[in-house]
Each structure stands twice: as structure tokens, then as C-alpha cells.
Chain A
Amino acid sequence: MKKIVSILIGVIFLISGCSYLGSSPSYQKTIIDALGREVELSSEPSRIIIIGKQAPMLTNFMYLFNTTDKKLLALEKRSQSADEFLKLIDKNIDKKFKLERGAGAEQVVPLNPDMVILKTSMRDTIGKPLEDLSIPVVYVEFENADQIYRDLRIFASVLNEEERGEDLISSYQMYYQKIQDLLKVSNSSEKPSVLLLQAESEDQKYIFKVPPANWLQTDMVEKAGGIAVWKEANLAGGWTEVNMEQISNWNADMVYIVNYQGQSPEIVKNLKNDEIWKNLNAAKDERIYAFAYDFLSWDQPDPRWILGYGWMAFRQNPQSISSTDIQNLIKDYYQKFFTLDESAIEEKIDPMVADYFK
């Protein structure tokens, strides 16, 4: 009798031990996301979805890593030029599932993801429902340099590519430092006043908006050695429309025109002929610049932010930074960050960017 009982107990232990082994393939990870949440992972995420606000830019950041193309399950439909870029770096991009813009939790769940990446602001609308369904959600921010470094580490952790993550960060920091060093050389007492405007065309008129004081654009303008004239007005929230009188009142030494449809060169050309704009200092000194743009505008919280920064540093300090400096930066960047080879860069990137260095 005792023998049978002990054998039974042994078998029970054995079975439970086996099932225990079967359920967890020795993967255990805790990720701390941008909201400070602890996300427990019991398997390596291989069905990742990124949706919500600024999903295209978050996706771009994720494509800085090597295993993204295998692990990214679905992405949101984007503007045409952004899609072109992804085609360049991921040949299989069309095989990925495409979600409609504005897709929410209901569209995501049927795809059975094991990881959803969202911006922190999306928690209430998309995040919470997913969390309630026990789908792992990781929130990121990517709104300024520090956040970019932190959130890249989070991505690195999600993708199990910690080394690559550190590599990217140190590259960014290296570029940043390089630009800073070049800036130190310049006579820093002569900081130009800078106005950054997003221009939208409406019929024959343009609407101009300035970014909030706490956004990346404002920060970068100042770090690139300039005085952001709209900062003192302390406009918070989102892009704020300013009228021509206000633009004239600021009368900045330099004006950047940002346009998210890639039309800034044409807009700048039209402004140079405009009766009112002709009278501005920036027009008289020929310092109205179309903000650099390849597949996306370089002013946004996107992996290209460092290029935007470098380009601005060049524009704002032409005597100490040359266009060659920045063009070399671009080459180096695309090789290191998106593993494009030189010929691809020459063929695809350079022509797009050439206009902005004139």
C-alpha cells in the first residue's frame, strides 16, 4: 500500500514538474515603461503592434533595431512618403498587416498580439482596454532627447537587443557631442533669433503655427545655438496659429518653414516673393529656410531628430559648421542606424535632401 501511494505521489510530482517546464521556456523579463509601470513578460514578444498617436514615428524608432522586421506584426497606414521609407528598409513591409488610421483596441485584439506599443497619452483610450484583456502594453514617450534615450532602452528590452540599444544611444550621443563641439568653436555671443513656423497652405494663403515651448523643436533650436523667439510667449498645448502681425513683430533673424507634406521649398519660394514677407529681416538677409525633409520632416520626435538638430546647427552657425559636415553626418547616420549602404543613400536620400542645403 505504502509503495503504491509513494509511486502515485512521485508520478504526480513528475507530471506537475513536466507541465511546469512545458509552460515556461525559461523567459522572464520585467520591463519598466515610460509611465513607470512594471510589465512582466513570460515570452519574447514576436507579435508586436504599434498604434495610436505618432505610431509612424514610433515604428521608425523600432526599425532602428535588427529584429523588428520579424517581430512587428502590424502597422498603421501612414502617409505615402513614410511608407516609401519603410519599403526601403524592410523588403517585406507589404506583407505586414495594415491597420486603419485611428484603429483602437477592437481592431488590435483579433490579431492576437503579444505586445502593444503606445504613446503615454493613449493609455485612457486604447491602453486600458488592452491592459484589462491582459495583453502586455508598453508605453513610451520619445518627446525629447532624454526620453528618446530612455525609450530606446525600453525598445531594446522588448526586442531583446540591449546591445543594439546601447549602440544607438551612444551613437546619438556621439553625434550630439560632435555638433556641440563644433558649436563651441563658433562665437557664441552672436546667437541668431529664430522663428520656426509650420506652414499649411490654404487656397492662396498660408496658415502659420508655432510649436509649444516644451516641444522638441523649441528645445533643439535653442540647443543648436539660437533664440527661439516664440518661447517667451509661453504657448502651451499643440501648434498655435500666429498671424502675420505677430510674425512681423518678432522679426526674427532666421525663419524655418516646416511643412509636413514636403512642400516647404515651394512655400519658401512663394514667401520670398510675398509683398509683406519681403520686408522681414530674414527675407532681406535671405535666411528663410525650408526645413529639411527626406521621407519625413526632420523636426519631429523621429529617429531623424539628430539630423534635424545637425541641420539646424549648420543653418544657425554657418561660419563654424559646413554643409559637408552635416552631409557626412547623414551618410554615417543612415549606415549606422538603418543599415543602408552608400549607394542606396546616394541614390535615395541625397537627392531628396539636396534642396535643403542650398
Chain B
Amino acid sequence: MKKIRLTGLIACLLLVTLLSFLIGRYQNDNPFKLLSSNNLFRQLFLQLRIPRVLTALLIGSGLALAGLVTQIIFQNPLADGGLLGVSQAAGFGAALGILVFRGNSIWVQLFAFGFGVIALIISMLISGRIRGNKILSLILAGIAVSAIFSAGIGILKYLADPVDQLPAIVFWLLGSLAGSTWPVLIRTMIIILPLMIFFWFYRWRLNLHAMDKEIAFSLGLKNKFELWASLLASVLLTSSIISISGIVGWIGLIIPNYARMIAGSDTSNSIPVTLLLGAIFTMICDDLARALLPGEIPLGIFTAFLGALMFIGLLVNKEKIA
């Protein structure tokens, strides 16, 4: 039964990927005919469309995975990868990069990534000073850090040139894959794939983090090392994705919940399904973002809209979210 579901999802992924390759604003004729005869289309297809679809696939599964890991670690089905203020901090870093380096994208990426990690460190330092439940103190610290960087983004928006910088910041804060090319994809894969591989092998033991701490201790989780390692890996995953796509919300929140609905709560089952669903969902959203209208629509708008619809569906159909 499990194998059939998984195979079905993999087939779905391949199908959606293929369809995504066939969708785009350049739609004159039969794509297969175009590939052989039209050089312009071939260039567009190979240089822009394919890397973009693959980027959507990658960040979709990455964000969904980070969301799942965060939910397990914080024992909260409503968490997502940006919980410790990582999203807001990365957004702040990107806005800073846009203001200071005039939109030079390498710097924007580095700053976004760097500030995401800084948010984790600050949250850890603050929570270290709070007595009591480690997890709860991390959440509280994260709320504070998130608020600070959110305010920081507000300040940067205020300082930004309304003509050229502000729209770039706003577009970035809503998330977009408009700049996807092969170099960007490769750069992203270098960081994201090792992290995903780490979690792939860790996919069963991750369950322990969902247990009460004393129980987890008795089952072998003797120190905080695995916790911090998982948390850091999740933050790196989220940060590095945000640094290329901007803040794309809802994927980390909703996909793991659906994955659990399909595959159960055991992370050795829900992680594969999360990766597949995240990829499928994000590819569909980006297809809409880049092809629905002549103008580019921020990706975050579709992930929020469709994600919220899915969330409502989840609430209505289940007594509890698990």
C-alpha cells in the first residue's frame, strides 16, 4: 500500500515536471516541433525554462522539508522553516543587499543567507538566557528576533528609493523565481542537496525529536548535539533557498501536514512524501506565476493563495491536524 502511494506520487512528479516544461509564455506551436526548428525557442527552453522548472522543484522540496523538520523539532504542526525569525532576517538581509549593493544579486544572496543564520544564532543566545523548557524558549526568542528583523525591513523599505529599489525589495519579499538560470540552479544545488541528503539518512531518527525530552533521552538522545545539528541544517536549507527565491511562504507549513495525512506521522514515511509534494506544489505555483499573465506575478502570491486554500481544506476535513 505504501509503495503504491509512493510510486503514484513519483509518477505525478514526473508528469507535472514534464507539463511544466511544456508551459510558458512562448507558446506559438507544438513544442516538440519548435525544439527542432526554432532556435529562439530552443534557447529559451534550454537556458531559461528548464532551469527554472528544476529550481522550482528543488526549492519546493527544500522548503517543505525544512518545514517538516521544524515542525518535528518544535513539536508543533503549525511551524515552518522561518520559525526562529529566519525568514524575516533573510528578507532583511536581502533588502539590505538591494539597498547597499544596488541589486547585485550575489551580495543579495549572501546577505540573505548570512542574516538567516544570524537569526538562528541570536535566537539561540537569547533562549540560552531563558530558564526553562529549551524548545519553548527558542520559540519565544524566535518571535522576538522575527519582530526585530521585520521592523528592520520596514525601515529599509522606508529608506529605499521608491523608484528603483523599493519595487525590487517588495518583489523579493513576495518571492520570485524570475531570475532562474543554470548558474543559479547549480549554486543552489551545491548547498541544498547535501542538506537534503543528510535529512534523508536521518529520516527515521528525526522522530525522536518529537518525543518528550526525557523519553528521547532514555531512547538515546543524550545531548543537544543532534537537536542543534538538525536545527542548523534546517535553517541553512531555508536561508539558502530564501536567498535565491525571496520569501516564499506557506510551503513549509502546509505540505508537511498533507504529507502526514497521506503517509502518517513517522518521518521515515512523511519525508519522502513531503519532498515529492513540495516539488509538485511549487512547480504548479511557478507555472502560474510565469505563464498565467504576460507580466511576472510573484511566486509567493500563488503559494499563499493555494496554500491557504489547502489549509482550509485540511481544517475542514480533519478533527485535528496531525
B179 and A240 form a contact (CB under 8 A): no
Q: In the complex, what residues of B have CB within 8 A of residue A233's CB?
A: 293-295
Q: How far is the CA of A244 from the CA of B294 in the complex (A)?
A: 10
Q: How far is it, in angstroms, between the C-alpha of A249 and the C-alpha of B293 when the chains are bound?
A: 12
Q: Tell me if A102 and B43 are in contact (CB < 8 A).
A: no
Any B CB within 8 A of the CB of A111: no
B4: A residues at CB distance < 8 A? none
Which residues of chain A are near B103, meaning CB under 8 Å?
200-203
Q: Mark A36-62, 1 if CB is under 8 A from B, else 0.
A: 000000000000000001000000000
Across the interface, which residues of B come within 8 angstroms of A273, CB to CB?
none
- Tell yes or no: B218 within 8 A of A by CB: no
Query: Would A249 and B26 count as touching, CB distance under 8 A?
Result: yes
Interface size class on chain B is 35 or more
CB <8 Å contact, A244 and B48: yes
A210 and B295: CB pair below 8 A?
yes
Give CA–CA (A239, B165) in the complex, Å: 13
Determine whether the beta carbon of B44 is less than 8 Å from that of A245: yes
Q: Which of A130-138, A274-282, A325-333 contacts B (4 or more CB under 8 A)?
A: A274-282
Q: Does B167 contact A (CB under 8 A)?
A: yes
A128 lies within 8 A of chain B by Cβ: no
Residue from A53, A241, A251, A279 within 8 A of B178 (CB atoms): A241
Number of interface residues of A (CB under 8 A): 30
**A245 and B290 contacting across the interface, CB-CB below 8 Å:** yes
Q: Once the chains are docked, how many angstroms separate the CA of A327 from the CA of B94? A: 44
Given contacts A245-B26, A245-B44, A248-B40, contact A235 B179 (CB under 8 A): no
**Contact across chains for A230 and B164 when beta carbons are under 8 A apart:** no
Interface 1/0s, chain A 261-276, versus B by CB < 8 A?
0000000000000011
**Chain B residues with CB below 8 A from A203, complex form:** 103-106
Q: Complex formed: what's the CA distance from A245 to B23 in Å?
A: 10
Contact A202 B43 (CB under 8 A): no
Contact of A238 among B43, B44, B105, B167 (CB under 8 A): B167
Complex: A52 Cα to B40 Cα, angstroms: 44
Q: Complex: how many Å from CA A233 to CA B295?
A: 8
Do A240 and B105 have beta carbons less than 8 Å apart?
no
The interface residues of chain A lying within 8 Å CB-to-CB of B44 are: 244-245, 248, 276
From 157 to 187 in chain B, residues with beta carbon under 8 angstroms from any chain A beta carbon are 158-159, 161-164, 167-168, 171, 176, 178-179, 181
Across-interface contacts of A201 in B (CB, < 8 A)? 103
CB distance from A230 to the nearest CB of B (A): 7
Instruction: Given contact pairs A202-B104, A203-B106, A276-B40, enumerate 19 new A-B contacts (beta carbons under 8 Å).
Output: A200-B164, A200-B168, A202-B103, A203-B104, A203-B105, A235-B295, A241-B296, A242-B25, A242-B294, A243-B48, A244-B44, A245-B44, A245-B49, A248-B44, A249-B26, A249-B28, A251-B40, A276-B47, A279-B43
- Provide a sorted-by-A list of 9 A–B residue pairs whose CB atoms are within 8 angstroms: A203-B105, A241-B296, A243-B25, A244-B44, A248-B25, A248-B40, A248-B44, A260-B164, A279-B39
